[in-house]
Amino acid sequence: MLEIRDLTVAIDGESTPILKGLNLSINSGKVHAIMGPNGSGKSTLSHVLAGHTGYSVLQGSIQFMGQDLLVLAPEERAILGIFLAFQYPVAIPGINNMYFLKEACNRIRQGRHEKSLDAVDFLAQVRTHLKQIGLDESFLKRSLNDGFSGGEKKSNEILQMLMLQPKLAILDETDSGLDIDALQAISKVINQQRTPQRSWLLVTHYQRLLSYIQPDYVHILYKGRIVKTGDHNLALRLEKEGYGWLQAEATHTVEGHD
């Protein structure tokens, strides 16, 4: 589904790359977790996948569903099925949360040649999902992320994900800022959403999230490369030993799985 080859990326206008020849393949229905210390390039990867203009791709390619992702605008990628749950969702005062959700939902449906939802169907869906996440309906009446607590912002991202039905969901540090109850609720929702057609990329610093959402693969991103790949046990080892031991092993690079 997703095929990243030799990806080298720098912040726009700078010459030192943050990602240095990253390789990663993700197949349908799989859950991949990317872990790594601060500054290893985790957020850069998720931003580049979503098409943020603040980075320049110096080398490499990204294929998604057989298409060259790098030539597509962010909204075209969204229509194709890439969803990024942001680590820090921006607040936009003045835009009604529900209005935004409906607009986004229908734009994406139009782009996928699906029928737009009418107000009744839309509301019915939203209500179901709100309940799943454990949010109150008044949540929809507020301005987009404006004045939301950290946890509310993260929940809002998940709500959007449920409505937009992506093929690849990238969750960037979604667990940070969530208390244990909220984390459990969200994990439960995500587990329900695991289907053979949908892939997941969980970007996280801690393994906490992974004890609720069992990953198929765990990758360690270190200094712009994936240096180790394993299963859930790798995450547990990181939990116990920290990232220090990577220094020694950083020399032999392990490529991504199929």
Q: Is 84 in the site for another protein (CB under 8 A)?
A: yes
CB count within 10 Å of CB 158 equals: 24
Among residues 68 and 103, whose Cβ is nearest to another protein? 103
Binding segment toward another protein, per CB under 8 A, in 90-98, 184-192, 195-203, 222-230: 90-98
Annotate each residue in 24-53 with x if it binds another protein (CB under 8 A) or - if it does not, as one string: --------------------------xxxx
Among 71, 90, 120, 180, indicate the residue that binds another protein (CB under 8 A).
90
Separation of alpha carbons 28 and 13, rounded Å: 35
Please enumerate, as own/partner, the contacts of 26-29 that have beta carbons within 8 Å and a separation of 24 or more: 26/1, 26/2, 26/168, 26/199, 26/201, 27/1, 27/199, 27/258, 28/1, 28/196, 28/197, 28/198, 28/199, 29/194, 29/195, 29/196, 29/197, 29/198, 29/199
Alpha carbon 30 to its chain's center: 14
Q: How far is the CB of 192 from another protein (least distance, A)?
A: 22
Separation of alpha carbons 170 and 50, rounded Å: 9
Annotate each residue in 122-161 with x if it binds another protein (CB under 8 A) or - if it does not, as one string: ---------------------x----------------x-
Among 13, 94, 147, 196, indicate the residue that binds another protein (CB under 8 A).
94
Question: Which residues here bind another protein, judged by CB under 8 A?
Answer: 50-54, 73-75, 77-79, 83-84, 86, 89-90, 92-96, 99-100, 103-104, 107-108, 111, 143, 160, 164
